[in-house]
Structure 1
Amino acid sequence: MFQVHFFDGKTSKQQTAQLDMDGDELRLTGAFGERRGRLCDLDISEALDSAPRFIRFPDGGMCEIASHDLAEFAAWLARHGRQHGWVAQLQMRWRNAFAALLVCVASVFAAYLWILPAAAEYLAPHIPPAALQALSDQVLEALDGRLLAPSQLPAQRREAIAREFSALLATQSGLPAYRLHFRAAKGIGPNAFALPSGEIVVFDSLVGLAGDTSEVLAVLAHELGHLHYRHGVRHLIQSSVVSFALGMYLGDISSLAAGFSTLLLESRYSRAFEHDADAYAVSLLRHAGRDPVGLASMLAKLQASQGGDSGRSLLASHPDTPSRIDFIEASRR
Structure 2
Amino acid sequence: MIVSGICHPPRSSEKRDASVQLLPSGQLQLVTELGQQEWSLTELEISKPLGNLPIKVTFPGGMQFIAHDSRSLERMLGAGKSSRLHRVERNIPMIAASLAAMLVVFVLMFTHGVPWLTGALVRVMPEQVPQLVGEHVLATLDEHMLEPSALTVSQQTAISDRFSRMNTNLPPLPVQPKLVFRRWGNGPNAMALSDGSVIVFDSLVELAETSEQLDSIILHELGHIQNQHVMKSLVRSTLLSAAVAVVTGESTGLIDTFSGIGVFLVTQGYSRTAEEEADEYAAGQMVRLYGSVVPMRQMFELLNETAGSGELPEWLSTHPELESRIEGLSQ
* Per-residue deviation, 1:21: 9.2
Q: Indicate yes or no: 2:206 matched with 1:208.
A: yes
Instruction: Name the CA shift for 1:24/1:202 in 2 (closer, same or farther; >3 Å).
Output: farther
CA radius of gyration, larger in: 2
Q: 1: distance between equivalents of 2:7 and 2:235?
A: 52
Give the conservation status (yes or no) of the 8 Å contact 2:49–2:83. Answer: no
Give the conservation status (yes or no) of the 8 Å contact 2:47–2:56. Answer: yes
Q: 1: distance between equivalents of 2:148 and 2:225?
A: 23
Instruction: Name the CA shift for 1:183/1:81 in 2 (closer, same or farther; >3 Å).
Output: closer
Give the conservation status (yes or no) of the 8 Å contact 1:275–1:319. Answer: no
Q: 1: distance between equivalents of 2:279 and 2:88?
A: 50
Q: Which moved more, 1:146-155 or 1:236-245?
A: 236-245
Give the conservation status (yes or no) of the 8 Å contact 1:191–1:206. Answer: yes
Q: 2:318 aligns with which of 317, 320, 325?
A: 320
Q: 2: distance between equivalents of 1:5 and 1:279?
A: 78
Residue number in structure 1 paired with 2:306: 305
* Per-residue deviation, 1:183: 0.3
Q: 2: distance between equivalents of 1:202 and 1:148?
A: 11
* Per-residue deviation, 1:194: 1.1
Q: 2: distance between equivalents of 1:38 and 1:204?
A: 88
Q: Which moved more, 1:113-122 or 1:164-173?
A: 164-173
Instruction: Name the CA shift for 1:310/1:41 in 2 (closer, same or farther; >3 Å).
Output: farther
Residue number in structure 2 paired with 1:271: 272
Match of 1:322, SS?
Answer: coil
TM-score of the superposed pair, with normalisation by structure 2: 0.72
After TM superposition, list the pairs within 5 Å mapping 1:93-112 onto structure 2: 93-112=91-110
Q: 2: distance between equivalents of 1:72 and 1:117?
A: 52
Residue number in structure 2 paired with 1:183: 182
Instruction: Name the CA shift for 1:279/1:39 in 2 (closer, same or farther; >3 Å).
Output: farther
Residue number in structure 2 paired with 1:237: 235
Q: 1: distance between equivalents of 2:91 and 2:279?
A: 51
Q: Note the aligned Cα RMSD (angstroms).
A: 4.2
Q: 1: distance between equivalents of 2:80 and 2:93?
A: 27
What is the percent sequence identity of the aligned residues? 25
User: Which residue identity is paired with 2:74?
Assistant: A
Residue number in structure 2 paired with 1:3: 5
* Per-residue deviation, 1:321: 2.4
User: Which residue identity is paired with 1:141?
Assistant: A
Residue number in structure 1 paired with 2:194: 196
Residue number in structure 1 paired with 2:71: 71
Match of 2:50, SS?
Answer: coil
User: Which residue identity is paired with 1:46?
Assistant: L
After TM superposition, list the pairs within 5 Å mapping 1:1-333 onto structure 2: 1=3, 3=5, 16=15, 44=48, 46-47=50-51, 51-53=52-54, 69-78=69-78, 82-85=81-84, 87-176=85-174, 177-186=176-185, 188-243=186-241, 270-307=271-308, 313-315=313-315, 320-333=318-331
Give the conservation status (yes or no) of the 8 Å contact 2:6–2:65. Answer: yes
Q: Which moved more, 1:13-22 or 1:119-128?
A: 13-22
Q: Deviations over 1:125-174 (max 9, x none)?
A: 21111122122111111111111111001122222222223323323332
Instruction: Name the CA shift for 1:24/1:131 in 2 (closer, same or farther; >3 Å).
Output: farther
Match of 2:200, SS?
Answer: strand
Q: Which moved more, 1:171-180 or 1:124-133?
A: 171-180
* Per-residue deviation, 1:65: 6.3
Instruction: Name the CA shift for 1:77/1:157 in 2 (closer, same or farther; >3 Å).
Output: farther
Instruction: Name the CA shift for 1:175/1:65 in 2 (closer, same or farther; >3 Å).
Output: same
Give the conservation status (yes or no) of the 8 Å contact 1:189–1:205. Answer: yes
Give the conservation status (yes or no) of the 8 Å contact 1:192–1:201. Answer: yes
* Per-residue deviation, 1:74: 2.9
* Per-residue deviation, 1:223: 0.9
Q: Which moved more, 1:321-330 or 1:219-228?
A: 321-330
Q: 2: distance between equivalents of 1:56 and 1:235?
A: 58
Give the conservation status (yes or no) of the 8 Å contact 2:44–2:57. Answer: no
* Per-residue deviation, 1:107: 1.4
Q: Tell me the number of residue pairs that the alignment of Structure 1 and Structure 2 aligns.
A: 293
Match of 1:288, SS?
Answer: helix
Unpaired runs of at least 5, structure 1: 31-36, 253-262
Instruction: Name the CA shift for 1:332/1:81 in 2 (closer, same or farther; >3 Å).
Output: same
Residue number in structure 1 paired with 2:255: none
Residue number in structure 2 paired with 1:260: none
Unpaired runs of at least 5, structure 2: 34-40, 251-263
Q: 1: distance between equivalents of 2:322 and 2:13?
A: 71
User: Which residue identity is paired with 2:279?
Assistant: D
* Per-residue deviation, 1:233: 1.0
TM-score of the superposed pair, with normalisation by structure 1: 0.71
Q: 2: distance between equivalents of 1:138 and 1:156?
A: 28
Instruction: Name the CA shift for 1:115/1:103 in 2 (closer, same or farther; >3 Å).
Output: same
Q: Which moved more, 1:237-246 or 1:157-166?
A: 237-246
Q: 2: distance between equivalents of 1:193 and 1:201?
A: 5
User: Which residue identity is paired with 2:183?
Assistant: A
Give the conservation status (yes or no) of the 8 Å contact 1:77–1:83. Answer: no
